[in-house]
């Protein structure tokens, strides 16, 4: 049975079981190795007594437990690495199962740093924050990868870019081994890794005469070695050693500030470099057929060599700095100006390759964004890609459209069509009947579709559009803005979008409900008519039945639809199914009575 024949839950469960079995095996192996080391220590004690104290045996016999102990140390390291890989795989598939089982809220990054109250729809459609679309989608392990994914949600792509992304996502969808490896490589470094900051550090330049400094450092290190060896073994004059040490100190002092500037953050970069090198290497090992993935892989080449090999070379250089902490090597590190040599080597690498790192990081970040959506596509196998309509006309056609963040068990789907006649749906209905959820379902699916991601529908055909929404308008005490004033400012922003390069899709929730009925009706009619005249399509919700007249006056360019409710055993029931026409009743009084208000 292959991956395609199993459900996402079955495949994740199978891999989770395998990872836990591997962890259990390595735990048992670790215990056995620990016991073996103890046995060798116990064996070494009588051998040492017999050979060193009693003289019964040759001291060579001690090589048996010593060699066995060293061998067990190597086995212990291998077992530890295998157990570490298994633990990380367990975390990957536990999170995957949480997403499949709709337990994903609160897991992973929520993209809160991308929240922008001035954006025309991101807050309205819950793109960022706890329980957001971003949190459901993102498996990125770097801040740059998160930023790329966020940018795809914040602005629609053109038709060609959407097609390239869809092709890449479809190719990556079934590659669970690759996605597991990429996720594991980022584990243990915090929530997200700042590879963008790493790229900026790699591109820095410190004003050092590099060639002369490296030559001088090498000459001084060789001179110090010769002087010390000569003094210890060949009766050299000690003043020669002192003279070399003074020269080294002067040289190190001359470069100290600049070397410190190079090395001040390098120790914190070691783990990030290792992660970046391993991630790039894993991507480089894959072969791809889709144009976008092929381009990204090709971007990881530099003068015929891979980006991972270059990053690995820098990581090895940085890693040598830690040798100074070894008590046996520390005296030699002072003698050889080890820190200065490492700093100069790092600076040499940065001058040769540092400016290329930003491109490598960008390619990896885009790959992470594709991988995030590919995982979402794998976990939602019934969700198709949107069909991107010809830009000649503005259209939205949806069959069985639902909200992507709602569990299937509670997600009610609806059909709708916008473009031509009608251009606008006036959605009436009582409180909690599903009007706002419909607007969010439309908006979020359009965001997904125009990002190149699968959509929660049997079919969605959409033109590239700009989106403007007024679902989450709030007053501001600090800025002195009432809720109504904040809404009309947003409406001005939405109207202004009609002057952009893309046609507008507007989602107006409870339009102008902060003012009196007469002004609301006049204002809403004028705004909707103006949007239609500018070629926009969209939906407008209201529980004010008077506003349904807007749909009547703008027929056939507008149409009325509604949601119904009914009381059953003292409980308000909703079916969340959209129906044609205007709602015939309101549930406000019934709801007030249901909670005990005397009305």
378 in Cβ contact with 452 (< 8 Å): no
- Count of positions (residues) in the chain: 599
Range with the poorest average pLDDT among 40-44, 93-97, 577-581? 40-44
* 390-448 pLDDT, tens digit each: 767 789 999 999 999 999 888 999 999 998 889 999 998 877 788 999 999 999 999 99
Higher-pLDDT residue of 237, 343: 343
Q: Are residues 160 and 54 in the same domain?
A: no
Same domain, 441 and 344: no
What is the DSSP code string of 325-368? Answer: GSTTTHHHHHHTTHHHHHHHHHHHHHHHHGGGHHHHHHHHHHHH
Q: Residue 256: inside a domain, yes or no?
A: no
Domain identity same for 191 and 267: yes
Contact (Cβ atoms closer than 8 angstroms) between residue 82 and residue 28: no
CA distance 167 to 64: 59
pLDDT tens digits, 504-550:
999 999 888 767 777 888 888 889 999 999 999 999 998 777 777 77
Q: How many domains does the chain have?
A: 3
Q: Are residues 49 and 68 in the same domain?
A: yes
45-72 pLDDT, tens digit per residue, is 777 777 766 667 666 766 777 777 778 7
Q: What is the DSSP string of 500-541?
A: SSS-EEEEESSTTTTS-HHHHHHHHHHHHHHHHHTT-EEEEE
Q: Does residue 530 belong to any structural domain of this protein?
A: yes
Could you tell me which residues come within 8 angstroms of residue 136 by beta carbon, excluding any fewer than 6 positions away? 99, 104, 376, 404, 405
User: What pLDDT does residue 174 have?
Assistant: 93
The last residue of one of the domains, among 379, 407, 440, is: 379
One domain for residues 310 and 352? yes
pLDDT category at 570 given cuts 50, 70, 90 is low
| Within a domain: 223 | no
The answer on pLDDT for 324 being more than 90 is: no
Q: How far is CA 403 from the centre of its chain?
A: 22
Report yes or no on 238 lying in a domain. no
Distance, CA of 121 to chain centre: 21
Asked if residue 111 is part of any domain, the answer here is no
Quick check: is 250 in a domain?
Answer: no
- For residue 157, what is the domain's CATH number? 1.10.1420.10
Residues 35 and 178 in one domain: no
554: CATH? 3.40.50.300
pTM of the full structure: 0.87
Q: Which of 379, 395, 421 is the last residue of a domain?
A: 379
Q: How confident is the model at residue 161 (pLDDT cuts 50, 70, 90)?
A: very high
Q: Which helix (H) or strand (E) holds 468?
A: strand 466-469
- Is the domain of 538 the same as that of 434? yes
Tokens in use for 209? 């005469």
469: which 2 tokens? 């929404």
User: Is the domain of 431 the same as that of 531?
Assistant: yes
pLDDT at 210 over 80: yes
Do 78 and 148 lie in one domain? The reply is no
pLDDT score at 418: 94
| Same domain (yes/no): 439, 469 | yes
- Residue 359 within a domain: yes
- In a shared domain, residues 448 and 424: yes
Shared-domain flag, residues 403 and 372: no
Distances (CA, A) of 553 to 263, 395, 423, 523: 71, 22, 13, 14
Q: Are 446 and 462 in contact (CB under 8 A)?
A: yes
Residue 442 domain boundaries:
387-594
Q: What stretch of H or E contains 459?
A: strand 459-462
Q: What is the pLDDT of residues 125-157, one digit of tens each?
A: 999 999 999 999 999 988 899 999 999 999 999
Distance from C-alpha of 294 to C-alpha of 299, rounded to nearest angstrom? 9
Residue 255 placed within a domain? no
Of 103, 124, 139, the position where a domain reaches its end is 103
């Amino acid at each position: 049975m292959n991956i395609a024949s199993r459900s996402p839950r079955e495949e994740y469960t199978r891999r989770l079981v395998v990872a836990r079995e591997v962890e259990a095996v390595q735990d048992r192996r670790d215990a056995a190795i620990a016991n073996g080391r103890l046995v060798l220590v116990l064996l070494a004690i009588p051998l040492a007594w017999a050979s060193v104290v009693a003289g019964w045996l040759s001291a060579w016999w001690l090589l048996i437990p010593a060699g066995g102990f060293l061998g067990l140390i190597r086995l212990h390291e291998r077992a530890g690495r295998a157990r570490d890989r298994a633990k990380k795989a367990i975390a990957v598939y536990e999170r995957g199962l949480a997403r499949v089982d709709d337990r994903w809220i609160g897991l992973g990054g929520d993209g809160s740093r991308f929240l922008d109250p001035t954006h025309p729809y991101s807050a309205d459609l819950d793109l960022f924050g706890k329980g957001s679309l971003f949190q459901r989608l993102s498996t990125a392990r770097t801040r740059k990868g998160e930023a790329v994914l966020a940018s795809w949600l914040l602005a629609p792509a053109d038709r060609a870019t959407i097609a390239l992304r869809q092709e890449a996502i479809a190719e990556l969808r079934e590659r669970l081994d690759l996605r597991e490896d990429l996720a594991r490589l980022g584990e243990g470094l915090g929530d997200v890794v700042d590879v963008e900051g790493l790229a900026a550090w790699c591109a820095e330049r410190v004003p050092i005469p590099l060639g002369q400094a490296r030559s001088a450092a090498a000459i001084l290190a060789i001179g110090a070695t010769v002087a010390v060896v000569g003094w210890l073994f060949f009766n050299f004059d000690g003043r020669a050693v002192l003279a070399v040490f003074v020269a080294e100190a002067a040289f190190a002092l001359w470069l100290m500030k600049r070397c410190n500037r190079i090395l001040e953050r390098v120790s914190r970069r070691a783990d990030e470099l290792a992660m970046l090198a391993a991630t790039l290497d894993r991507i480089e090992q894959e072969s791809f057929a889709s144009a976008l993935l092929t381009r990204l892989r090709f971007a990881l080449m530099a003068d015929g060599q891979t980006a991972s090999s270059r990053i690995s070379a820098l990581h090895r250089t940085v890693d040598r700095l830690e040798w100074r902490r070894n008590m046996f090597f520390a005296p030699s590190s002072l003698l050889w100006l080890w820190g200065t040599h490492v700093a100069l080597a790092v600076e040499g690498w940065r001058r040769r390759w540092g400016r290329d790192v930003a491109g490598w990081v960008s390619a990896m970040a885009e790959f992470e964004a594709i991988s995030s959506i590919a995982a979402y596509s794998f976990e939602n196998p019934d969700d198709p890609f949107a069909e991107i309509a010809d830009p000649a006309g503005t259209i939205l056609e949806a069959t069985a459209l639902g909200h992507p963040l709602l569990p299937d068990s509670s997600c009610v789907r609806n059909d709708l069509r916008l473009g031509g006649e009608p251009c606008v749906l006036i959605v009436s209905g009582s409180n909690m009947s599903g009007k706002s959820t419909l607007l969010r379902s439309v908006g979020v699916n359009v965001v997904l579709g125009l990002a190149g991601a699968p959509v929660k529908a049997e079919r969605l055909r959409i033109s590239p559009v700009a989106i403007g929404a007024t679902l989450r308008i709030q007053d501001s005490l600090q800025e002195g803005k009432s809720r109504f004033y904040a809404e009309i400012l947003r409406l001005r922003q939405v109207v202004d979008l009609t002057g952009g390069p893309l046609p507008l899709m507007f989602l107006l929730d409870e339009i102008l409900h902060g003012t009196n009925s007469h002004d609301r009706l006049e204002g809403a009619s004028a705004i909707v008519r103006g949007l239609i005249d500018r070629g926009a399509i969209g939906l407008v919700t209201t529980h004010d039945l008077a506003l349904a007249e807007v749909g009547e006056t703008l027929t056939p360019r507008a149409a009325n639809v509604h949601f119904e409710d009914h009381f059953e055993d003292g409980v308000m029931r909703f079916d969340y199914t959209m129906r044609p026409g205007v709602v015939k009743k309101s549930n406000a009084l019934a709801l007030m009575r249901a909670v005990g208000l005397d009305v």
